């Protein structure tokens, strides 16, 4: 298991070397995007209106997160920056990666077969951030650089955030088609059947 510190935007080469079980810390820009960011961005992509995207996402890390944000003295300040459940985005993430060139997805609770195939095809990786560790994540925020689509409500908007030493994140899906969540769950299912047979 290797440890990495990566600066965004990351290259295809950076992503290729990541293997499940590796531990990664991030520096640079990450953007938040949960349910509504996926919906709106993909609507634009499917209508052929990608030029209406508020920024270029190539090589960036997309973070499944609905932050707690307040304006303090005219500046946006983040009070909560932990991950949300990634599984809700499982059905659309491959499209998002393909359309916008995202290389890293950060979230919690895992993504499954479809995204695993998509990450292998388009060379991206999923980083699991420990669920609930919002205070640690908030401490890694340097500043809020920008916010787009605030009309979606503050947890659903696309926040552009500069981070330093953001982590630990664990590579749970790599670009070779390995998925640690699926491996662990499959093993557990087998053991559960054995345990139940003895009960």
Show contacts with another protein in window 28-47 (CB under 8 A): none
> Do 100 and 158 form a contact (C-beta atoms < 8 A)?
no
Backbone dihedral region of 109: left (phi > 0), alpha (psi from -120 to 50 degrees) or beta?
left
Radius of gyration of the chain (CA): 17
- Of 42, 25, 69, 3, the C-alpha closest to 164 is 25
Q: Nearest distance from residue 19's CB to another protein, in Å?
A: 12
Q: Where are the beta strands (DSSP E) in the chain?
A: 3-7, 23-32, 61-63, 68-72, 75-80, 104-107, 125-128, 141-148, 158-173
Contact pick of 60, 82, 100, 123 for another protein (by CB under 8 A): 82
| Candidate list 18, 26, 41, 65; residue touching another protein; CB under 8 A | 65
Q: Which is nearer to another protein, 21 or 177 (CB)?
A: 21
Place of tokens 């932050």: 67
Catalytic hit among 9, 22, 34, 38: 38
Q: Which two tokens stand for residue 110?
A: 């895992």
Rounded to a whole number of angstroms, the minimum distance from the CB of residue 125 to another protein is 14
| Region binding another protein by CB under 8 A among candidate stretches 38-46, 50-58, 127-135, 158-166 | 127-135
Question: 107 forms bridges with which residues in the sheet?
Answer: 128
Q: Which is nearer to another protein, 50 or 187 (CB)?
A: 187
Find out whether 64 and 108 touch, Cβ atoms under 8 Å: yes
Q: Is 64 a catalytic site residue?
A: no
Site string for another protein, 136-175 (x = CB under 8 A): xxxx-------------x-x------------x-x-x---
Tokens of 193: 């059947």
Size of the site for another protein (CB under 8 A): 47
156, 35 contact by CB (below 8 A) = yes
Closest distance of CB 165 from another protein, Å: 12
Query: Which residues are part of the catalytic machinery?
Result: 38
Residues that bind another protein (CB under 8 A): 1, 21, 23, 65-68, 70, 79-82, 84-85, 87, 108-110, 128, 130-139, 153, 155, 168, 170, 172, 180-181, 183-185, 187-189, 191-192, 195-196, 199
């Amino acid at each position: 298991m290797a440890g990495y510190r990566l600066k965004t935007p990351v290259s295809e080469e950076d992503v290729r070397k990541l293997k499940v079980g590796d531990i990664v810390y991030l520096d640079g820009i990450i953007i938040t995007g949960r349910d509504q960011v996926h919906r709106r961005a993909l609507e634009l992509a499917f209508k052929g209106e990608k030029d209406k995207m508020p920024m270029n996402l190539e090589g960036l890390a997309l973070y499944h997160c609905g932050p707690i944000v307040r304006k303090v003295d005219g500046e946006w300040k983040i009070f909560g920056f932990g991950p949300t459940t990634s599984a809700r985005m499982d059905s659309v993430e491959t499209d998002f990666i393909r359309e916008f060139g995202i290389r890293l997805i950060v979230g919690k609770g895992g993504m499954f077969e479809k995204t695993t195939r998509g990450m292998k095809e388009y060379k991206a990786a999923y980083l699991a951030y420990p669920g609930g560790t919002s205070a640690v994540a908030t401490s890694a925020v340097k500043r809020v650089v920008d916010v787009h689509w605030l009309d979606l409500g503050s947890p659903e908007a696309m926040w552009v955030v500069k981070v330093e030493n953001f982590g630990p994140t664990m590579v749970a899906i790599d670009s070779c088609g390995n998925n640690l969540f699926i491996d662990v769950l499959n093993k557990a299912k087998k053991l559960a059947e054995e345990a139940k047979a003895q009960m």
